Chains A and B, each alone.
Chain A
Amino acid sequence: MDYDLPTGFDLIIVGTGVVESIISAAASRIGKRVLQVDTNNYYGGHWASFNLEDIQNLKQENNIDLGKQFPKNLSNEEDFIPLGNKLKCFPYFETEWHIAEEDSIDVLKIKQENLNGKENVVLDEGDKSKLDNDKKEHDDCADKEEDESVVQGEIEEAKEVEQNLNVSTQELLKKDYRKFVIDLCPKLHFARGNFVELLISSNIARYAEFRSVSRVLTWINGNIEVVPCSRSDVFANNKVSVVEKRMLMKLLTSIEEEEKSATVPQNTTFKDFLKNKKLSSNIIHFVLYALSMSNDETIWLEGMKRTKRFLGSLGRFGKTPFLFSMYGSGEITQAFCRLSAVFGGVFALNQQLHGIVLNKENRFESLKCGKQNITASHIVMSVGAAPVSFFKNPTSSLISRAVLITDKSLMDSEQEHMTLLLYPAGNKLITILELGHLTGTCPKNVFLIHITTEGSSNPKEDLEGCVKNLFAFGEQDSNPRKPKVLWSSYFSIPNTNELDLKSSVPSNVFLCPGPDLDLDYDFSLEKAREIFLSIYPDAEFLPRAPDADEIVIGEDPETATEVRASNSNLDISKDTEKSVEEERAIEQSSETELAIEARASCSELDTPSETDNTTKDALKEVEECAEAKENMQ
Chain B
Amino acid sequence: MANRSGAAQRPNGTQGKICQFKLVLLGESAVGKSSLVLRFVKGQFHEYQESTIGAAFLTQTVCLDDTTVKFEIWDTAGQERYHSLAPMYYRGAQAAIVVYDITNQDTFGRAKTWVKELQRQASPTIVIALAGNKQDLANKRMVEFEEAQTYADENGLLFMETSAKTALNVNDIFLAIAKKLPKYDQNQGQSGQGQGRRLAEGDQGAKTPGNCCK
Contact = CB atoms under 8 A, between A and B. Distances in A.
Interface in A320-351: 323, 326-327, 331, 334-335, 337-339, 341-342, 344, 346-350
A569 to B, nearest CB: 8
A596 B55 contact: yes
B154 interface: no
A440 interface: yes
B86 A43 contact: yes
Interface of A is mostly: helix
Contacts of B41: 552-553
A625 B194 contact: no
A573 B39 CA distance: 10
Contacts of B171: 561, 564-565, 568
Given A573-B43, A622-B18, A626-B18, A548 B58 contact: yes
Interface in A224-240: none
Interface string B68-97: 100010000111011110111101100000
Contact of A597 (B1, B2, B56): B56
Nearest to B88: A334
Interface string B38-66: 01111111100010111111111111000
Given A317-B197, A334-B86, A349-B83, A551 B11 contact: no
A200 B8 CA distance: 27
Contacts of B203: 200, 316-317
B197 A323 contact: yes
Given A339-B56, A630-B6, A316 B34 contact: no
A440 B195 CA distance: 9
Given A334-B87, A557-B63, A633-B190, A348 B9 contact: no
Interface stretch (A92-100, A126-134, A201-209): A201-209
Given A334-B87, A558-B63, A567-B43, A630 B209 contact: yes
Contact of A342 (B11, B45, B77, B83): B77
Q: Give the residue among A335, A549, A555, A626 with the most B Cβ atoms within 10 A.
A: A626
B201 interface: yes
A179 B96 CA distance: 20
B43 to A, nearest CB: 3
Task: Give the size range of A's interface with the partner.
Answer: 35 or more
Contact of A207 (B7, B45, B56): B56
A337 B77 CA distance: 10
Contacts of B194: 326, 437-438, 440
Contacts of B195: 438
B192 A438 contact: yes
A185 B166 CA distance: 49
B208 interface: yes
B196 interface: yes
A622 B44 contact: no
Q: Give the residue among A43, A545, A552 with the most B Cβ atoms within 10 A.
A: A552
Contact of A316 (B45, B198, B205): B205
B12 A558 contact: yes
Nearest to B76: A341
A530 interface: no
Given A317-B205, A618-B11, A346 B82 contact: yes
A595 B205 contact: no
Contacts of A337: 79, 86
Contact of A555 (B2, B16, B61, B197): B61
Q: Give the residue among A344, A347, A572 with the most B Cβ atoms within 10 A.
A: A347
Contacts of A201: 201
What are the 9 A-B residue pairs with the smallest beta carbon separation, nearest first?
Answer: A567-B43, A209-B196, A568-B167, A348-B82, A341-B77, A334-B88, A334-B86, A626-B6, A205-B199
24 contacts: A200-B200, A209-B2, A209-B197, A318-B205, A341-B78, A342-B55, A342-B77, A348-B82, A349-B83, A548-B57, A556-B11, A557-B61, A560-B62, A565-B171, A567-B42, A568-B167, A597-B55, A622-B16, A625-B9, A626-B6, A629-B186, A630-B206, A630-B209, A631-B206
Interface of A: 3, 5, 43, 178-179, 196, 199-201, 205-212, 315-318, 323, 326-327, 331, 334-335, 337-339, 341-342, 344, 346-350, 437-438, 440, 545, 548-549, 551-558, 560-561, 564-568, 570, 572-573, 576-577, 580-581, 584, 593, 595-597, 599-600, 618-619, 621-623, 625-627, 629-631, 633
Interface of B: 1-2, 6-12, 16, 18, 34, 39-46, 50, 52-63, 68, 72, 77-79, 81-84, 86-89, 91-92, 120-121, 166-167, 170-171, 175, 186, 190, 192-201, 203-206, 208-209, 212, 214
